[in-house]
Amino acid sequence: MNSKVKVKQHAKPLPRVDGTDALIIVLPKARIKTAWPAFPFSDVLKKRLTARAEHDCASDSAGTPFVTDLPNDAGTPVALGAVDETMGSFELLTLARKLAAAALAHNPRTLTLGMAGLSHALAARMAEALVAALLAASYRLPHFKTKKDKPGKLATIEIYGLQKAVDLSRTCAEAAGNNLARHLTVLPPNELTPALYRQRIAALAREHGWRMEFMDIKKLKRLKAGAFLAVAQGSSVPDAGIVHLRYQPARTRKPPVALVGKGVCFDTGGTNLKPAKHMYGMHEDMEGSAVALGTLLALTELKVDFPVDCWLALVQNHIGPNAYKQNDVVRACNGTSIEVVHTDAEGRMILADTLALACKRKPALMIDYATLTGTCVYALGTTYSGAFTNQPEWNSTLIEAGRASGERVWPFPMDEDYDTQLESKIADIKQCSTEGEADHILAARFLNRFVDKTIPWVHVDLSSGNHKGGLAHIPTDITGVGVRLTLNLLLDQALMTRSQ
């Protein structure tokens, strides 16, 4: 996605700007009030910025762009930002989102980025952030309004001021994965039922050469996946099931990475029906599966040398005479009996069987994604996501991956004594607690029962999957968070190597 946008890099400083439709210039913060590096119209821009000090781009930690038009014949729009070496990835990406919004407001065909007076390391980081933000902002998410969007013209991004070329292939792959995740998540529930979702997945599998298997309700009954089937039985349409996709590079015997996603295409809450305020937006409860799928796409585009298994649990949590209910006891495919406590805790039910099935492939590492609990939002808000792992020594690594990628996560405890709240008098485990305290931790402890103890596992509770006004480089409320985080974990933090 966004493959139509070409990125060209130049080592030389910013030349004449008459041939560009819009301009973004990034300066070092330290020189904003002193001597500016030389570039076209720098004197004019400095005078204007000084005269409008209230718009000083160094005025806050995330940076506030200064926007104006150049005094040339074309009146070229320019957005000016300032950075320094201390700024983290989240700050750079946030500034990049603001600069991208200012530049793309003019719907340019050619957009020029000028890194003026920055060290190569900082220029490279800022260029990467800007390309990520531009690819996200220029992607048109689907809508169903009668009045169509004006088509985006952006075809070329020209980058000047880099001392040497920067490899942006990963940025483009991550953008493609994130755009896919956001595209799917924004679709209304009548446009993305499990059956329609599966059709879209099948088309992607054909396009990218993934092997695809669909475990329908009949097969899941044979596999005794009672936790998943309990949620599925409330729907009048038997289209639920688990999709298993496989990316297999040639000539490798490495064990796969398993990506698992919660795909509840609509969540009524079941018999414990949600109130209207909390049911609105529940078509987004499949975002975990969309992030898993987007991550698979990004890894495929990068042609990684290890196999990837992607498991998508697709279902709707409906009400009806056959819907599962409180105090039901069901048995998952690994033999664990579960006492149902709350039918709106359906995500952990479908993930239980999906994780257990994924473990049978003996992955080197397993990561699951889910918009799972409200308590994670209460704990962190919507600017961070929660992270849990059965490898406690990885907690600092998870934090670092979040900081480096700009998709921030915070780890929570996974101590065994939390299990006392999940003890059942009639089954092996309770689905959740009626108290509701620390439910994000209890959900992770519940899922842990379905993960093979020999398999390193990370669970991501996507509390930042929707953030009003966008987050980091993403301009939309739906963030698709998780793709950049996962690639950092796999390619930079090398979790697969650590798990072997």
Count of domains for the chain = 2
Among 110, 138, 162, the domain boundary falls at 162
Residue type, 162: L
Residues in CB range of 465: below 8 A, 6 or more apart: 185, 284, 287, 288, 291, 371, 382, 385, 478, 479, 480, 481
pLDDT of the residue at 194: 98
- Give the end of a domain, one of 162, 182, 206: 162
| Angle between helix 120-137 and 169-186 (nearest 10) | 30
Say whether both 250 and 118 belong to one domain: no
C-alpha–C-alpha distance, residues 111 and 494, integer Å:
35
Question: Residue 105: which domain range?
Answer: 6-162
Q: How do residues 310-360 score in pLDDT, each as one tens digit?
A: 999 999 999 999 999 999 999 999 999 999 999 999 999 999 999 999 999
222: which 2 tokens? 């044979």
What pLDDT, in 10s, does the model give residues 160-177? 999 999 999 999 999 999
* Predicted TM-score (pTM) of this structure: 0.96
- 228 CB burial (10 A radius; 0-12, 13-18, 19+): buried
222 and 112 belong to one structural domain:
no
- Given the DSSP bridges, would you call strands 241-247 and 308-317 parallel, antiparallel or unpaired? antiparallel
Together in a domain, 195 and 273: yes
157 and 239 in a common domain: no
β 66-69/77-83 pair status = antiparallel
Helix, strand, coil content of the chain in percent (nearest 5): 35, 20, 45
Answer with the one of 162, 195, 221 that is the final residue of a domain. Answer: 162
For residues 205 and 59, state if they share a domain. Answer: no
If one counts every other C-beta atom within 10 angstroms of the C-beta of residue 17, the result is 22
What is the residue-level pLDDT of the chain in tens, covering all 500 positions?
445 899 999 999 998 888 899 999 999 999 988 899 999 999 999 999 988 765 444 444 346 789 999 999 999 999 999 999 999 999 999 999 999 999 999 999 999 999 999 999 999 999 999 999 999 999 999 999 998 888 889 999 999 999 999 999 999 999 999 999 999 999 999 999 999 999 999 999 999 999 999 999 999 999 999 999 999 999 999 999 999 999 999 988 899 999 999 999 999 999 999 999 999 999 999 999 999 999 999 999 999 999 999 999 999 999 999 999 999 999 999 999 999 999 999 999 999 999 999 999 999 999 999 999 999 999 999 999 999 999 999 999 999 999 999 999 999 999 999 999 999 999 999 999 998 899 999 999 999 999 999 999 999 999 999 999 999 999 999 999 999 999 999 999 999 887 66
CB atoms within 10 A of CB 136: 26
Strands 22-28 and 110-115: parallel
Report, as residue numbers or ranges, the catalytic residues.
274, 348
* CATH code, domain carrying 10: 3.40.220.10
Residues 191 and 122 in one domain: no
- The closest alpha carbon to 402, from 414, 416, 389, belongs to 389
* Same domain assignment for residues 412 and 439: yes
> Are residues 438 and 490 both part of a single domain?
yes
Strands (E) located in 42-99 = 66-69, 77-83
d(CA 90, CA 497): 27
Looking up residue 442, the CATH number of its domain turns out to be: 3.40.630.10
pLDDT tens digits, 27-40: 999 998 889 999 99
Residues 29, 83: contact at Cβ < 8 Å? yes
Per DSSP, helices labelled H in 54-186 are: 89-104, 120-137, 169-186
Whether 67 and 79 have beta carbons less than 8 Å apart is answered as yes
CB 13, CB 39: distance < 8 Å: yes
Burial grade of 337 (CB within 10 A; 0-12, 13-18, 19 or more): middle
Copy the structure tokens of residue 495: 């979790």
Q: Which residues contact 335 (CB under 8 A, 6 or more apart)?
A: none
Evaluate whether residue 408 is within a structural domain.
yes
Cα dihedral 425, 426, 427, 433 sign:
negative
Distance (Å, rounded) from C-alpha 113 to C-alpha 127? 8
* Pair 237, 362 in one domain: yes
Q: How many CB atoms lie within 10 A of CB 325?
A: 13
Q: Give the three-state DSSP class for 455.
A: coil
**Rounded Cα gap, residues 31 and 297, in angstroms:** 41
Question: What secondary structure does DSSP assign to 140-169, as a single string?
Answer: ------SSPPPPP---EEEEE--SS----H
pLDDT of residue 358: 98
Half-sphere exposure of 3 (CA within 13 A, CB side): 6
DSSP state of 419: G
Task: Indicate if 158 and 181 belong to the same structural domain.
Answer: no
Domain for residue 428, yes or no?
yes
Rounded to 5 degrees, what angle do the CA atoms 186, 466, 368 make?
A: 90
Residue 452 in domain: yes
The verdict on 238 and 381 lying in the same domain is yes
Residue 331: CB atoms within 10 A of its CB come to 16
d(CA 495, CA 487): 10
Neighbouring CB atoms inside 10 A of 31's CB total 16
Is residue 23 located within the same domain as residue 90? yes
Q: For residue 167, is it within any domain?
A: no
14 located within any domain: yes
Q: Is residue 1 part of a domain?
A: no
